[in-house]
Chain A
Amino acid sequence: MNKKLLILLVLVCFLFSVSVASAKMIKIGGVACLTGGAATYGASTRNGCVLAFKAVNDEGGVDIGGTKYLIHYIFEDDQGSPEAAANAFRKLIDQDEVYAILGSVMSKCTLAGAPIAQDSGVPVISPTSTAVQVTRTGDYIFRSCFLDPFQGAVVATFSYNDLKAKTAAVIFDNANDYTKGLAEAFRESFEKLGGKVVAYESFTDEDKTTDFSAQLTNIKSANPDVIFLDAYYSAAALMAKQARGLGITVPFVGADGWDSAEFPKLGGEAVEGGYFCNHYSPEDPRPIVQNFVSKYTEVYGATPDALATLAYDAALILIDSLERAGSLDRAAIRDAIAATNLECVSGVITFDEYGDPIKKAAVIKVENGKFVFQKFVQP
């Protein structure tokens, strides 16, 4: 009896698999962290990808060489650890035989998985890994976010050209590679443009430091036209408040570390009129952005953050490349990705020789406790 049931079950499974195969599936892997300290990043990333693939599947799938393929998105959790990420990449490549991988979130995880994908010839697009080495792994590795030096250059260009600042001060966390890289890039670009960085102050670890008055007093005596508060939103809000308390009145600028709904709440009056550069702005009037924001809000009940946007863009790039490749050959898909010229939510994206995107950054102003889109800047 049991044996018969089992045979029946196997037969049913076969039937199903045949029916699935008849719908023509293309497998795409996804890697991100759904557990661990950066769990919300991973969730946003997955949401962005799922949204893009669902939209394509609802329209009948992606058209590759005349045949419609449904996208089968296989997701693996890398727990934010490089070992788990390497395993996830190996599983997706060897077991699931995916055609491309979107991931991972953290640079260290992508760096662990990228060599495996490169050796197996599977294209990878990482939405958010900003470390420079990620795309230097090989020609199959791409990303949809810009790098920290680029952001530093954007902030410098905006300060010099739009805020007409001739002198600038920088205050940054010297225990964090992100802020350190930004500060160096800002100084380099600002001085290349003809400006002068009159104060270059640092502090150690924003978890330990809450009093910045010594550095800010130095900045005050240097009398700059603009101050680059190079830190995550909490420390930036603290610094802004203390600077205003010391009688500093010049505008503040920042990078995507400011991007948090908490920032205007924490900073209050002090951060009003500050500018920062970000990957995208939900207020960008382009239809693709508005369409994405309304769809995402409808499905997930929240305004998409930068991670969701970058993941959505990575998925868009992949879908577009699959269509242009015209075949299920991984090398052809890679070449198609490299030749991308596509309007995405975070701007028009093309890739340079390393696989890093060339695009513009959005500059956002803090106004009445809200983020207001200003303009796109390309250094």
Chain B
Amino acid sequence: MDIKSISTTGHCKKQCPVVLYTEIEKIFFKKLGKNMTKKQLSDSINNNILTYNKLTNWKKYVFISVIILFFLFLYILSFGTQAFFQQLVNGIQLGSIYALIALGYTMIYGIIRLINFAHGDLFMFGAYISCFLGNYLIAHNFSYPFIVVLIFSMVVTALLGMIIEKIAYKPLRFKPRLAALITALGVSLFLENFLALSPQNVPFPLNKIVFGPKFIPFPALIAEKTYNISGITINNIKILDVVVTIILMIALQYIVKKTMIGKAMRAVAFNKDACLMMGINIDKIISITFGIGISLAAASGTLYALTYGQLQSPYLGIWPGLKAFIAAVLGGIGSIPGAMLGSYVMGISETFATSINSNFGYGIAFVILIVVLIFKPAGLLGKFTKEKV
């Protein structure tokens, strides 16, 4: 039995009498859980959810690749190979920062169809938390401060994200989607403006929480080392950015594809009503998804702060968040590999565009987005779904 047919048979938990619900549940558990092996179950979900678009018209892709290669060739001709590879390294590093934020965007969108505009601000929160803890650890001579800071900031920010989800988004889950979207904007504005208050301007309990609008230098958790590989300069922090991003992406892929929680996430993303009947606790799964997505944003925030060495203000999450959102849409929002691809496309093209003419850097992100959406309205790896409006 295909999981798809559940959605046609079953309805929302609230509409079924309890007895009937448990009966149906029993039947499906038998059918799916007992009679099918785990492998089959996961395959059947895999086939339905998060499958790549098959590369049907390969000619199109060859054509696009030829155009890209032509531009690369032109760039190398005018700027030299060395500059090309240096810019590529810069772009990959920038893309890694975007990728971790974009993954969270796409996961949350995938599971509850909500564009969590507060994501960039949770990225900022993660950066600040790691800054405070980093200062403390350095003052007390801890070993491996970076790992501790990274994990701590991921956990704390994830908790904040889950609280926000409980307070702000959960009550609106079965309300029109626009309400949740506006709430997300509200949460974003609240986080920015509340945390940007100066501690001396707010009364006692609050002044311990707010960050203030001032610039803060980020502690050097890792001594910077610069390597020169045949004229291309790379420092260890940039390598760390990329490595941590890749590790977290692999971990995420593992969680989503191989664990029970991941399976439940995909199931919730696919059909919430069916999940209810399968005995999946959607509230818990949505909470966990938020936690994972937001902990990735926090990791990105830590890496960002470590790379650039300063925190400008609690408004610093706006632009990275916005660009990561564009990257997620570019890759196909809801698709995890799409978010990664979109982020690297964004990071690299932004770097090259800036290097050709420094006024182009910002515009290019939007130009690429528009061009991609004209030819592939669902994004690079997104699946086109009909929306009920």
Contacts and interface: CB of A to CB of B under 8 A. Distances in A.
Interface of A: 174, 201-204, 207-211, 213-215, 217-218, 220-221, 234, 237-238, 241-242, 245-247, 262, 265-266, 268
Contact of B217 (A204, A247, A268): A268
B299 to A, nearest CB: 17
B308 A210 contact: yes
A221 B83 contact: yes
Interface of B: 79-80, 82-83, 86-87, 90-91, 93-94, 214-215, 217, 220, 224, 226, 228, 233, 235, 237-238, 304, 308-310, 312, 315-316, 318-320, 350-352, 354-355, 358-359, 361-362
B215 A217 contact: no
Contact of A266 (B217, B238, B350): B217
Given A214-B361, A268-B309, 16 more contacts: A201-B358, A202-B359, A203-B361, A207-B312, A213-B93, A214-B358, A220-B233, A238-B310, A242-B308, A245-B238, A246-B86, A247-B228, A262-B214, A266-B217, A266-B309, A268-B220
Contacts, number: 91
13 contacts: A201-B358, A202-B358, A203-B358, A210-B312, A211-B90, A211-B94, A211-B308, A220-B233, A221-B83, A237-B309, A245-B235, A247-B233, A268-B217
B310 A213 contact: no
Nearest to A260: B215
Given A214-B352, A217-B87, A238-B308, A265 B315 contact: no
A318 to B, nearest CB: 34
Contacts of B359: 174, 202, 204
Nearest to A174: B359
Contacts of B93: 213
Nearest to B315: A207
Given A237-B310, A262-B215, A217 B358 contact: no
Contacts of A204: 359, 361-362
A208 B361 CA distance: 11
B308 A266 contact: no
Nearest to B86: A217
A234 B90 contact: no
A221 B228 CA distance: 14
A214 B226 contact: no
B214 to A, nearest CB: 8
Contact of B355 (A202, A214, A265, A268): A214
A174 B362 CA distance: 12
Contacts of B308: 210-211, 238, 241-242
Majority secondary structure of chain B interface residues (helix, strand, loop or mixed): helix
B355 A208 contact: no
Nearest to B304: A210
Contacts of B309: 237-238, 241, 266, 268
Nearest to A235: B312
A246 B217 CA distance: 20
Given A238-B308, A238-B309, A213 B235 contact: no
Contacts of B316: 210
Contact of A221 (B79, B310, B362): B79
Nearest to A216: B90
B311 to A, nearest CB: 10
Majority secondary structure of chain A interface residues (helix, strand, loop or mixed): helix
Given A201-B358, A202-B359, A234 B215 contact: yes
The 4 lowest CB-CB distance pairs between A and B, nearest first, are A214-B354, A247-B233, A213-B90, A214-B355
Nearest to A265: B217
B112 to A, nearest CB: 29
A203 to B, nearest CB: 6
Contacts of A242: 308
B55 to A, nearest CB: 31
A242 B358 CA distance: 16
Residue picked from B79, B220, B312, B315, most chain A C-beta under 10 Å: B312
Contacts of B319: 207-209
Given A203-B361, A268-B309, A215 B217 contact: no
A204 B308 CA distance: 17
Contacts of B358: 174, 201-203, 214-215, 218
A197 to B, nearest CB: 14
B87 A208 contact: no
A204 B316 CA distance: 15
A344 B39 CA distance: 84
Contacts of B79: 218, 221
Contacts of A245: 224, 226, 233, 235, 237-238
A198 to B, nearest CB: 14
Contacts of B362: 204, 208
A242 B304 CA distance: 13
Contacts of A202: 358-359
B217 to A, nearest CB: 5
Contact of B226 (A201, A210, A238, A247): A247
Contacts of A241: 308-309
A221 B82 contact: yes
A272 to B, nearest CB: 14
Nearest to A245: B235
Contacts of B238: 245
Contacts of A220: 86, 233
B368 to A, nearest CB: 15
B310 A215 contact: no
A217 B85 CA distance: 10
Contacts of B94: 211, 213
Given A207-B315, A234-B310, A266-B215, A246 B233 contact: yes
Contacts of B355: 214-215, 217-218
B297 to A, nearest CB: 16
A210 B321 CA distance: 13
A286 to B, nearest CB: 32
A330 B315 CA distance: 49
Nearest to B310: A266
Contacts of B224: 245
Contacts of B215: 234, 262, 266
A331 B140 CA distance: 67
Contact of B83 (A208, A218, A234): A218
Nearest to A201: B358
Contacts of A234: 215, 310, 312
Contacts of A217: 83, 86-87, 90, 355
B83 A215 contact: no
Contacts of B310: 234, 237-238, 266
Contacts of B354: 203, 214-215
A265 B90 CA distance: 25
Nearest to A172: B358
